Amino acid sequence: MNFMRIKEIIWGTCICSLLFACKKDNNKYNYSNVNELNITGPKEEILVVQRDTIRVNPVITESQSGSGPYTYKWEIYRSKDLNSWEITPINPATTSTVLSTEKNLKVPALAAPGTYLLQYTITDTKTTLRQSVRYPLTINGKYYEGWLVMADKAGKTELSFVRQDGTVFPDVIGISNPGLSLSGKPLAAFSGIQSKLEDVNVFTDQGMYRFSANDFAFTGKSPDLFEKPINPVVNPAYAVNSVNFDQYVVSNGNVYGTLAPNQGIAKYSERFNGPAGYSVFPYFMSGNQFWTLFYDNIGKRFLHATYTSRSFSTFPANTETGIAFDMSNVGKTMIGGDRGPNTEYFLVMKDASAYYLCSVLPNNKKPAGVMDKMDAAPEIDKAVLFAASEVNKQLYYAVANKIYLYDVLAKTARLVYTFPANQQIKDLKMFKGQEWGKSNPLYNTRLVVATYNGAEGELYYLDLLPIGDVANGTYSKKFGGFGNILQINYRNPNL
């Protein structure tokens, strides 16, 4: 066959191909329906205590019956492990843990306490199509949320824990740390919960001890936690600010600061610099204009500092007409207070002639609020324990075995609850959240009261009506068996 014959064959083949290519499409195709899966699972966040069982039994419906068989995978990961907002074959979690390959999930929660995403993936082995759903999962430590109850029991420090579900754990430090002895007289315990911060700080008159908030394992003590010794400890307080930059310790009117773990690890500083001889009341206030605010009972004025600063500044003198008081020269002694609605702090103050309800608003450039005489507040001169609602402008105060409610707007107080005569109120707290973190429908609807009758310490929940009275005229829950309770503090859930 010569070259010309080959050319003719090629040209003929091309022409035939073109003719067939131009043939009209008859639109006859074979279609098949793709099986679609619908997965129904938990409607709310899954909560589980570490080492308890995670159980999820999803309901799966098919659009095409008889499809499959299927494979299953349950895995958990943290939000930080995602490259974007979802896991896909081209965007896997950088770190995840496979829990099970069964249809239903029933496994122990062995991961560290924290918040996770639980992903359930079903794969149709015939089509290789996948369907995934995700559920928020929180693994709590044994002591994930509840009341810290600091007591003196037979002359020894005993910290107990009343968990949110009502379970009582006595002497959590002794049980978690056999052989550890806390020297000195017990004073107070405070939780510190923020991003990367999960501590409980316990104070005796001889120093501060630090424990993990998750299991109460001992993690450190003064003087190792401070640049200089702070003992003897007097009227201690602890706080962490809302921007998660700083932690503060107050003792004997002095303030010490360190970074929050989110910013780094450091010892508590030496005493804050500030006006000579200052002595702050042990109560921390904060807002988005004034991050760090304390009241100086020696100088009778407010002091402030910015975040990461270890030095106090005074406010400039203010002689404007119409202001309730001058932040730089209040001229009164603070005896207590608590945070009310919209970050307005209600502080009780006194001078030689009267008691006052002072309010300060650190979210405002001009933070001075009101200064009202508390002339219609029975026994206010004997009160040292205060608790405010963050919903209503109401301030509770305790005297001996009685609880009064002060209406900030009406400027009057009334008796709302009385314990038996032999029970003395030792501490009083409003159940409320931090300025960050998870919400709870019970916040600002429950007053928590610690009492002591000379033989036994008790903890009471008083649920509140919107007008401030105690619901049904009595407590909703009671816990006993404690020693002489000195102070209570709420351990908020981890972030």
Task: Return per-residue pLDDT of the chain as tens, 495 residues.
Answer: 443 343 444 444 444 454 444 455 555 555 567 778 889 999 899 999 888 999 999 999 888 787 779 999 999 988 766 654 455 555 555 678 899 999 999 999 998 888 899 999 999 888 888 888 999 999 988 999 999 999 999 889 999 999 999 999 999 999 999 999 999 999 999 999 988 899 999 999 999 999 999 999 999 999 999 999 998 999 999 999 878 889 999 999 999 999 998 888 899 999 999 999 999 999 999 999 999 999 999 999 999 999 999 999 999 998 888 899 999 999 999 999 999 999 999 999 999 999 999 999 999 999 999 999 999 999 999 999 999 999 999 999 999 999 999 999 999 999 999 999 999 999 999 999 887 777 899 999 999 999 999 999 999 999 999 999 999 999 999 999 999 999 999 999 887
Measured CA to CA, the distance from residue 61 to residue 82 in angstroms comes to 29
Residue found under tokens 């009972």: 297
| Comma-separated ranges of CATH 2.130.10.10 domains in the chain | 146-491
Say what the pLDDT of residue 301 is: 98
335 close to 329: Cβ distance less than 8 angstroms = no
- Position 29 scores a pLDDT of 58
Round to whole Å and give the CA distance between 449 and 400: 12
Domain with CATH 2.60.40.10 in the chain: 37-140
Nearest in space to 270 (alpha carbons), one of 252, 255, 283, 248? 255
Distant-in-sequence, close-in-space partners of 477: CB < 8 Å, separation ≥ 6:
166, 460, 461
- 37-140: CATH number: 2.60.40.10
Helix ranges (H only) for 139-292 are 172-176
Distance, in Å, from the CA atom of 431 to the CA atom of 415, rounded to the nearest integer, reads: 20
| Widest distance between CA atoms in the chain | 127
Q: How many residues does the chain have?
A: 495
CATH number of 146-491: 2.130.10.10
pTM of the model: 0.82
Q: Which two tokens stand for residue 146?
A: 């509840």
Looking at every residue in the chain, the average pLDDT score rounds to 90
Pairing between β-strand 59-62 and β-strand 114-124 as defined by DSSP bridges: unpaired
Q: Which of 118, 174, 138 is nearest to 52 (CA)?
A: 138
Res 26: pLDDT: 58
- Residue 243: φ, ψ to 5°: -85, 0
Q: Are 139 and 494 in contact (CB under 8 A)?
A: no
